[in-house]
Amino acid sequence: MSTPPDADPLVRLAGRTPAAVCAALELEPPARALLADDPAPAAFLSALIQQELFKDALTYLAHGLPKPDAVAWTASCVAQGRALSPQASAAVAAAAAWSQAPSNENCRVAEKAAEDADDPAARFAALAAFWSGESLAPADLPIAPPAPELTGQAAVAALVLAATQAPPPEIPERYRQFLSRGILHARAPL
C-alpha cells in the first residue's frame, strides 16, 4: 500500500498539527515563527533542523510522538555511543521495557531504576517511562496522575543531557543523530 502524495511521512505525528503540539511548549522565537504558516509535521521538523533549532526539534518530537515511541526513542539515544554504568544501563533498559509493554508494573520498575541511576540522562529516560504511567503516588496510596507533559519534558531532559555530554564540537552532530532516530520512530507504521 503506497502513501498518498499529500500524506505526511511522519505517520506517528499525524492527527495533531505542530501548532497544536507546540501550543503550550516553550520554544525559541524563531521556532515559534515557523508555526505561522501551519506546516505539516515533516516540514516543521525539517525547518527546525535546517535552522539548527535542535532543542526545539527534540521538544516537538518528544511531545508529539505517542508516549511509548517517545520513551523508546529516548532510551535508544541515551544508550547510543556512551559507556553506561550497570545502574544507568538498568534505567535505560527499564525505559525501553516500558515502551514495549507500557504496564503499571513496568512503570514501577522504571521508577526504581530512575532512583538508582547514577547518570542524569539515564535517570530522565527512566522517569519518562514512569511519568507515563497512571500514578506518581506510591502503589498503596490513591492514584495521583502525572501531568500529560511530563513524559515529553523528561525525554527532552534526557536527550539534551546525553547530547551535551559529548565534547562541544560534537554536540550538533549528536543532536542530528538523535533527531534522525526520532524521525525513524515517527515514520514507523502504526
Quote the pLDDT of residue 5: 45
| For the chain, domain boundaries | 67-169
**Cell 511521512 sits on residue:** 9
Alpha-carbon distances, residue 181 vs 43, 51, 76, 109, 189 (angstroms): 17, 18, 8, 25, 15
Q: How confident is the model at residue 7 (pLDDT cuts 50, 70, 90)?
A: confident
Quote the pLDDT of residue 164: 96
Euclidean distance between CA atoms 156 and 95, whole angstroms: 14
Other CB atoms within 10 A of residue 4 CB:
7
Average pLDDT over residues 61-74: 97
Average pLDDT over residues 22-29: 96
- Average pLDDT over the chain, rounded to an integer: 94
Q: How confident is the model at residue 6 (pLDDT cuts 50, 70, 90)?
A: low
- At residue 18, what is the residue type? P
Euclidean distance between CA atoms 62 and 174, whole angstroms: 16
Average pLDDT over residues 161-167: 95
| Nearest partner of 55 among 24, 30, 20, judged by Cα | 30
Quote the pLDDT of residue 39: 96
